[in-house]
């Protein structure tokens, strides 16, 4: 039985990546939609590869591959939406 791909988590991660790239690089390089499409392709590729690894590892002990180790939780930035950091650097 193949594992289902969690689409909601995949879209959430793609949105976070695209948003971060727009904030760090700027919209002049690529618009948000292009960054989001690129991040979504990457996240889908990662999820598909993980799914294929799970199918190949049936019967093997868990974590037989380094890529199968559980990801550490992403750090939460509590100042993300506020302009606190920008104001701190502005003086």
Mean pLDDT by 10 residues, the chain (91 residues): 79 93 85 93 92 76 61 61 59 52
CB 17 within 8 A of CB 63: no
- Residue 75 is predicted with a pLDDT of 63
Nearest to 51 by CA among 3, 84, 1: 3
Domain residue ranges of the chain, discontinuous segments joined by +: 7-90
Verdict on whether the full-model pTM lies above 0.75: no
What pLDDT was estimated at residue 51? 85
**Confidence at residue 61, expressed as pLDDT on a 0 to 100 scale:** 63
Q: Nearest 5°: CA angle at 59, between 54 and 64?
A: 60
């Amino acid at each position: 039985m193949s594992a289902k791909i969690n689409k909601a988590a995949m879209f959430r991660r793609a949105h976070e990546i695209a948003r971060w790239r727009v904030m760090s690089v700027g919209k002049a390089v690529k618009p948000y939609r292009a960054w989001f499409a690129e991040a979504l392709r990457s996240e889908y590729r990662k999820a598909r590869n993980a799914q294929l690894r799970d199918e190949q590892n049936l019967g093997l002990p868990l974590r037989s591959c380094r890529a199968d180790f559980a990801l550490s939780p992403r750090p939460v930035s509590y100042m993300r939406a506020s302009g606190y950091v920008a104001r701190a650097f502005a003086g």
